[in-house]
């Protein structure tokens, strides 16, 4: 008989071991999935996890991995504060989209003015503000009307998705685009473009921002009163209240941080790798970032590594789609499996498993 015994303290070893075990478990489950789809499981796993980093054409793939990892890390870092404190911003996808729309709108308003010193910082600022404002809706409603922030932030994702489509055929449509949906390509507008700092490296300012956010989050969590409040509110809301943490203020701050960072991810994406509203603008980062946050155990360094891993599944998934015909939906399944294994394996951190023979006294 298996028996669970609660550990007095979470296990230190399993705190690090659990995510690694979860990844191994997911790869095994994933191989089963690939086999069911009629693909060689070992080859598919190699194409997804090995080739983008060390394969024949890895020089071309590595910059892509960096470009994908940056927004995931940026959004997940923002989410991690709220998740620690029990504030569930599930709508980062919406805040990411609105960030892109707001940034692109302000940049295009100045088109074709040449004043990068003014337009570029303003574009980025408006992107962050756009995400922040979108996140403030569920935050304020939660504070003043006690509405559920999970549902409100999620509903706003659907609204944002409608909005970006409307913008692409409406206000932000490229006037020289022969009536096709989609905005002007911001990469070709020198005052607002966010190109690679070293051409072809994949490192643009969004990547720099992601790294800075990791460092800042680490300092905030370990060295700052705010980080202490967040951790306390998550572990024991009562103790937090006694020590003078204002729960409403915490909600507003956590939501503001996650909204602003998601907005930043959106605006760096639209001015950099994708360039346009709609068309090449990639979606679903806001949801994948939730997996990144959990896989990284809500810890900045963990999130950094998890972001790279999830970016790898995207790029490797693309490669597997091209070379093996693996459907892209399989990667979404794979990401879901990863979250399942991770949450399941977490049991080992908080509980001890004891083997007992049947009939033995308790």
Q: Give the footprint of other proteins on this chain (CB under 8 A).
A: 4-6, 37, 88, 90, 137, 141, 145-148, 150-152, 154-156, 158-159, 162-163, 165-166, 169-170, 287, 290-291, 294, 327, 329-337, 339-340, 343-344, 346-347, 350-351
CB of 136 to other proteins, least distance (A): 13
Q: Among residues 123 and 153, whose Cβ is nearest to other proteins?
A: 153
**Closer residue to other proteins (CB): 133 or 155:** 155
d(CA 345, CA 294): 12
How far apart are alpha carbons 62 and 301 in whole angstroms? 20
Helix H or strand E segment including 140? helix 116-145
Nearest CB to other proteins, comparing residues 128 and 303: 303
Smallest gap from residue 26 Cβ to other proteins (A):
11
The CB-of-295 to other proteins minimum distance in angstroms stands at 11
Structure tokens that stand for 355 in this block: 């083997």
Name the one residue in this structure whose structure tokens are 């072809």: 200
52 close to 321: Cβ distance less than 8 angstroms: no
DSSP string of 247-303? HHHHHHHHHHHHHHHHHHHHHHHHHTTS-SSSTT----HHHHHHHHHHHTTT-HHHH
CB of 294 vs other proteins, minimal distance in Å: 6
Question: Helix crossing, 58-84 with 300-324: angle to 10°?
Answer: 140
CA nearest neighbour of 103 among 290, 307, 274, 293: 274
Residue with tokens 């980025």, as numbered in its chain: 124
DSSP-assigned letter for residue 8: S
CB of 117 to other proteins, least distance (A): 36
User: Which CA distances in Å does 123 have to 117, 138, 296, 336?
Assistant: 11, 24, 30, 34
Which one, 137 or 252, has the nearer CB to other proteins? 137
Q: Minimal distance in Å, beta carbon 44 to other proteins?
A: 14
Residue with tokens 């690694």: 20
Q: Which two tokens stand for residue 290?
A: 């939730």
Nearer to other proteins, 193 or 337 (CB): 337
Query: Which residue's CB is nearer to other proteins, number 81 or number 120?
Result: 81
Q: In terms of CB distance, is 206 or 302 closer to other proteins?
A: 302
| CA dihedral sign of residues 179, 273, 82, 226 | negative
- Tell me the closest approach of the beta carbon of residue 84 to other proteins, in angstroms: 12
Which token pair is 160? 């944002």
Q: Least separation, in Å, of the C-beta of 18 and other proteins?
A: 12
Rank residues 166 and 212 by Cβ distance to other proteins and give the closer one: 166
């Amino acid at each position: 008989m298996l028996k669970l015994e609660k550990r007095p303290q979470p296990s230190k070893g399993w705190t690090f071991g659990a995510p690694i075990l979860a990844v191994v478990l997911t790869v095994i489950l994933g191989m089963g999935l690939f086999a069911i789809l009629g693909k060689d499981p070992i080859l598919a796993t190699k194409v997804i996890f090995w080739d983008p980093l060390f394969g024949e054409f890895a020089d071309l793939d590595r910059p892509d991995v960096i470009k994908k990892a940056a927004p995931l890390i940026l959004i997940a870092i923002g989410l991690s504060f709220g998740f620690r404190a029990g504030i569930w911003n599930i709508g980062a996808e919406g805040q990411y989209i609105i960030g892109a729309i707001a940034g692109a709108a302000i940049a295009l308003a100045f088109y074709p003015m040449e004043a990068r010193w003014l337009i570029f910082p303003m574009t980025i600022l408006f992107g962050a503000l756009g995400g922040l404002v979108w996140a403030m809706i569920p935050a304020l409603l939660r504070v003043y009307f006690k509405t559920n922030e999970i549902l409100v932030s999620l509903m706003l994702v659907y609204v944002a998705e409608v909005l970006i489509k409307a913008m692409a055929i409406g206000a932000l449509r490229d006037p020289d685009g022969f009536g096709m949906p989609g905005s002007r390509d911001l990469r070709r507008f020198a005052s607002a473009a966010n190109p690679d700092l070293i051409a072809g490296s994949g490192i643009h300012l969004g990547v720099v921002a992601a790294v800075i956010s990791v460092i800042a989050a680490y300092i905030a969590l370990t060295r700052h009163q705010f980080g202490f409040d967040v951790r306390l509110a998550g572990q024991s809301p009562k103790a937090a209240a006694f020590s003078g943490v204002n729960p409403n203020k915490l909600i507003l701050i956590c939501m503001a941080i996650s909204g602003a960072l998601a907005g930043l991810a959106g605006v760096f994406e639209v001015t950099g790798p994708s360039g346009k509203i709609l068309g090449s603008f990639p979606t679903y980062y806001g949801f994948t970032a939730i997996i990144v946050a959990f896989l990284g155990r809500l810890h900045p360094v963990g999130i950094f590594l998890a972001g790279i891993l999830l970016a790898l599944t995207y790029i490797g998934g693309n490669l597997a789609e091209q070379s093996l015909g693996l459907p892209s939906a399989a990667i979404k399944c794979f990401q879901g499996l990863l979250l399942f294994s991770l949450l399941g394996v977490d049991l080992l951190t908080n509980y001890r498993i004891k083997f007992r023979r049947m009939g033995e006294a308790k």
